[in-house]
Amino acid sequence: MSLNEPILAEIDGEVGMLTLNRAHVHNAMDSTMADHAVRILESWRADASIRAVIVAAAGANFCIGQDADSLRRCLDGGEPCCRREFGANRRLFDALAGLGRPSIARIQGAAYGPGLGLVAACDLAVATYDAHFAVQETRLGLSPGPLAGVFADAVGVRAARRYLMSGERFSAVQALRIGLVHEIVPGENELDEAVSELAHALLGGAPQALAGSRTIESPDAALEAQVTSASTVEARAGISAFLESRAAPWDPRRRM
């Protein structure tokens, strides 16, 4: 792995860390960066030993938005270039949604445009107090594109519409209020600690059960999923461990 790559991938035990690594341009997103991230996520999806994924970023900002050169390519190359550049964002959001295990966004600084979409596509998000967010596409004369759907899924349609239409910047406190992030902390030291604790908590859940909990289903479908899950080897092991007052096989406390 080269430190000059646009995305860094590390595995620490059962947790994968995907890091946006273009700090010199504030991690502005282009199709090369997005496609690189997709390839990593798809390889991790096939690796059952990776049970949770953290999405982080090098430097002062999580992602400042769409890369300027990417936008120039769209102006010069027309629809084919735009489809390639913006389609890569869609593939990245879909790769996170289809990961089959929980994902956590670790956010500092700016998370704009596709950066905000990346936060919304993760299951959970933790940010520093000075983090800030925006969807600036309409101010560039662009439709918000694929990020609109993942943003609305994360915060609800009414809350999403305000920021999708206005393009206004909003704070970590506002992001917490609308549900885009789950926790805010004073600084990056506390950010690492909070993300680590959250990842550790997630590892206490059974792998198949965690995958099932990522999809919010209709009441009938949810009942059927729960009934079906009760007959799995995983459920038998987990319920037996609970009844016998011991840690389940997948629980990190079992190895302590």
d(CA 164, CA 246) in angstroms, rounded, equals 48
7-202 topology per CATH: 2-enoyl-CoA Hydratase; Chain A, domain 1 (3.90.226)
For residue 157, what pLDDT is reported? Answer: 93
The answer to whether the CB of 150 falls within 8 A of the CB of 121 is yes
pTM, 2 dp: 0.86
**50 or 79, which is more confident:** 50
d(CA 213, CA 51) in angstroms, rounded, equals 14
| Cα 202–chain centre separation | 14
Asked if the model's pLDDT at residue 212 lies above 70, the reply is: no
d(CA 1, CA 233) in angstroms, rounded, equals 37
For residue 124, what pLDDT is reported? Answer: 97
Mean pLDDT calculated for residue range 158-187: 96
- What is the tens place of the pLDDT at every residue in 8-19? 999 999 999 999
For residue 244, what pLDDT is reported? Answer: 80
For residue 251, what pLDDT is reported? Answer: 74
Mean pLDDT calculated for residue range 167-193: 97
Of 102-111, 118-127, 214-223, which range is least confident? 214-223
- What is the tens place of the pLDDT at every residue in 232-249? 777 677 667 766 888 877
Half-sphere exposure of 232 (CA within 13 A, CB side): 13
- Beta strands 7-12 and 183-185 are unpaired
Helix (H) or strand (E) holding 120: helix 114-121
Q: What are residue 2's phi and psi, to 5 degrees? A: -90, 140
Q: Which residues contact 35 (CB under 8 A, 6 or more apart)?
A: 88, 91
Question: What are the CB-based long-range contacts (under 8 Å, 24+) for 224-232?
Answer: 232/208
Domain boundaries, the chain: 7-202, 207-255
Asked if the model's pLDDT at residue 213 lies above 80, the reply is: no
The answer to whether the CB of 212 falls within 8 A of the CB of 155 is no
- Mean pLDDT highest for which of 33-47, 136-150, 196-210? 33-47
d(CA 128, CA 221) in angstroms, rounded, equals 37
